[in-house]
């Protein structure tokens, strides 16, 4: 659905069907720039009404800043096909936010539950504040998530310290720092650095923002996670043609799958909202855009990964600690990362070994207190349980409820 193209009579039914299955719909709002061929700019003259590119008399002309009309104008990052919008122009603010039938209000009333704001750093604070207020007026529980690639608590963008997490602006952020730290560890880094990076985010973010951060391993703006983990990087030194044609070898794919299973285990066990880019769970490959946008492999999904993601989703749904629990690290050094999530009397531990050698993790419980979820520890009860972690292996273990 492209909300800016007008009404969609099927959208309410889509949202109702999703909600019946426990799914909420969040729309992606790209309010900083538009397309050259959008009905507002109408660069190719496709639409019958006048766009800003056809005439200065167009009602949309004030939305853009022309250095020399019609072919020289501000564009997002200088890309001519993406003309930038003046987010402070009154008519534009009314159309997107303030009007009774504005884009933000209309689609929330139609059933959407929130908005993800593209390039939030490039939207004025006043614009985001108005958008947040309008969304809450229509739907008090609406969620506004911003695309921010760094620590959003102290971000300075275009010379302005942003107010992303100071209330009344964004409810949460895309957690690219989580992705960066996790990939660095999986590709040979130190688990201690992952903990350090995430503890910095936890210290800087309000608790609600930390526990609702959008934790993704891949997006349309990044190479496919399986490809990254299989080849060990983005291969930026290779030609674009090479990256377009490359497919993982059987050895690279096997390594990528094992690393991806570890990455997804941490993602689903860690505080925040695990977010999966379509097809990552099915084993899709590809480097950067557009190679990461191939069609879903219907009928050819990776059965091993599908089963793993289903098990993780089931665990996340059924175990309250994985959704709400407090975070405590048990081990974070070298190849080994282990942490617990505790909610009330229930505790779940995630223990992972990203290395090529076996590792051991000492647990804060006896073996008799542990109920296996995805895997069982193998050592007998010797007081404190010691779990053997084979190479590139992760366990999700639960302390049996009610046992002291």
Closest to 86 in 3D by CA, of 108, 61, 110, 58: 61
What is the CATH T-level fold of the domain 35-86, as seen in this structure? Answer: Oligo-1,6-glucosidase; domain 2 (3.90.400)
What is the CATH T-level fold of the domain 325-399, as seen in this structure? Answer: Immunoglobulin-like (2.60.40)
Of the residues 87, 113, 147, 302, only one is catalytic, namely: 147
160-187 burial by CB neighbour count: b if 16+ within 10 A, else e? Answer: eebbbbeeebbbbbbbbbbbebbbebbe
Counting every residue written for the chain, the total comes to 404
Q: Please check the confidence at residue 251 and state whether its pLDDT lies above 80.
A: yes
User: At which residue do the structure tokens 């909202």 appear?
Assistant: 273
Q: Identify the H or E element spanning 388.
A: strand 386-389
Cβ contact 115:104 at 8 Å? yes
Cβ contact 5:40 at 8 Å? no
Q: pLDDT band at 37, cuts 50/70/90?
A: very high
Query: What pLDDT was estimated at residue 108?
Result: 96
What is the per-residue pLDDT across 276-300, written as a single tens digit (0 to 9) for each?
A: 999 999 999 999 999 999 999 999 9
CATH homologous superfamily of 3-34+87-318: Glycosidases (3.20.20.80)
Provide the 3-class DSSP secondary structure of residue 117: strand
Query: What pLDDT was estimated at residue 363?
Result: 78
Q: Please check the confidence at residue 264 and state whether its pLDDT lies above 50.
A: yes
Q: Where are the CATH 3.90.400 domain residues in the chain? A: 35-86
Query: What pLDDT was estimated at residue 93?
Result: 97
Longest distance between any two alpha carbons in the chain, whole Å: 82
Beta bridge partners of 362: 386
What is the per-residue pLDDT across 66-115, written as a single tens digit (0 to 9) for each?
A: 999 999 999 999 999 999 999 999 999 999 999 999 999 999 999 999 99
Other Cβ atoms closer than 10 A to 244:
13
Q: Residue 198 and residue 202: Cα distance in Å, rounded?
A: 6
Q: Tokens representing 223?
A: 């190479």
Q: Where are the CATH 3.20.20.80 domain residues in the chain? A: 3-34+87-318
CA quadruple 140, 146, 150, 152: dihedral sign: negative
118 catalytically annotated: yes
Of the residues 28, 74, 118, 190, only one is catalytic, namely: 118
What is the per-residue pLDDT across 322-345, written as a single tens digit (0 to 9) for each?
A: 999 999 999 999 999 999 999 998
147 catalytically annotated: yes
Q: Are strands 160-161 and 370-372 parallel, antiparallel or unpaired?
A: unpaired
**Alpha-carbon separation of residue 47 from 50, 59, 220 (angstroms):** 7, 14, 28
Strands (DSSP E) contained in 100-141 are: 114-117
Other Cβ atoms closer than 10 A to 206:
14
Q: Tokens representing 25?
A: 């719909």
What Rg value do the Cα atoms of the chain yield, rounded? 24
Q: Where are the CATH 2.60.40.1180 domain residues in the chain? A: 325-399
């Amino acid at each position: 659905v492209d909300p800016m193209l007008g009404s969609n009579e099927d959208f309410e039914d889509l949202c109702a069907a999703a909600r019946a299955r426990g799914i909420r719909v969040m729309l992606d709002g790209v309010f900083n720039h538009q397309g050259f061929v959008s009905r507002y700019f109408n660069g190719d003259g496709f639409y019958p009404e006048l766009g800003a590119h056809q005439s200065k008399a167009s009602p949309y002309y004030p939305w853009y800043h022309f250095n020399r009309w019609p072919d020289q104008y501000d564009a997002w990052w200088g890309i001519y096909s993406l003309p930038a919008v003046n987010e402070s122009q009154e008519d534009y603010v009314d159309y997107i936010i303030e009007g009774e039938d504005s884009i933000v209000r209309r689609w929330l009333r139609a059933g959407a539950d929130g908005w993800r704001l593209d390039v939030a750093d490039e939207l004025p604070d006043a614009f985001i504040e108005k958008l947040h207020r309008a969304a809450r007026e229509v739907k008090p529980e609406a969620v506004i998530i911003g695309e921010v690639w760094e620590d959003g608590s102290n971000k300075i963008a275009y010379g302005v310290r942003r107010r992303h997490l100071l209330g009344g602006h964004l409810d949460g952020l895309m957690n690219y720092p989580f992705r960066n730290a996790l990939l660095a560890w999986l590709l040979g880094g130190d688990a201690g650095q992952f903990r350090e990076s995430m503890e910095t985010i936890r210290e800087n973010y309000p608790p609600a923002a930390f526990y609702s951060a959008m934790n993704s391993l891949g997006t349309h703006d990044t190479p496919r996670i399986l490809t990254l983990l299989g080849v060990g990087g983005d291969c930026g030194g290779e030609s674009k043609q090479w990256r377009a044609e490359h497919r993982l070898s059987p050895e690279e794919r096997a390594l990528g799958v094992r690393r991806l299973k570890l990455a997804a285990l941490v993602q689903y066990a860690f505080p925040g909202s695990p977010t999966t880019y379509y097809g990552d769970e099915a084993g899709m490959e590809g480097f950067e855009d557009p190679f990461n946008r191939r069609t879903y492999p219907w009928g050819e999904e990776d059965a091993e990964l599908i089963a793993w993601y289903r098990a993780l989703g089931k665990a996340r749904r059924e175990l309250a600690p994985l959704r709400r629990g407090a975070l405590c690290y048990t081990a974070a050094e070298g190849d080994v990362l282990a942490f617990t999530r505790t909610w009330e009397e229930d505790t779940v531990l995630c223990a992972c070994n990203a290395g090529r050698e076996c590792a051991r993790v000492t647990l804060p419980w006896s073996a008799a207190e542990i109920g296996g979820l995805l895997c069982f520890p193998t050592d007998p009860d010797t007081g404190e349980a010691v779990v053997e972690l084979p190479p590139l292996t992760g366990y999700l273990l639960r302390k049996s409820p009610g046992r002291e």
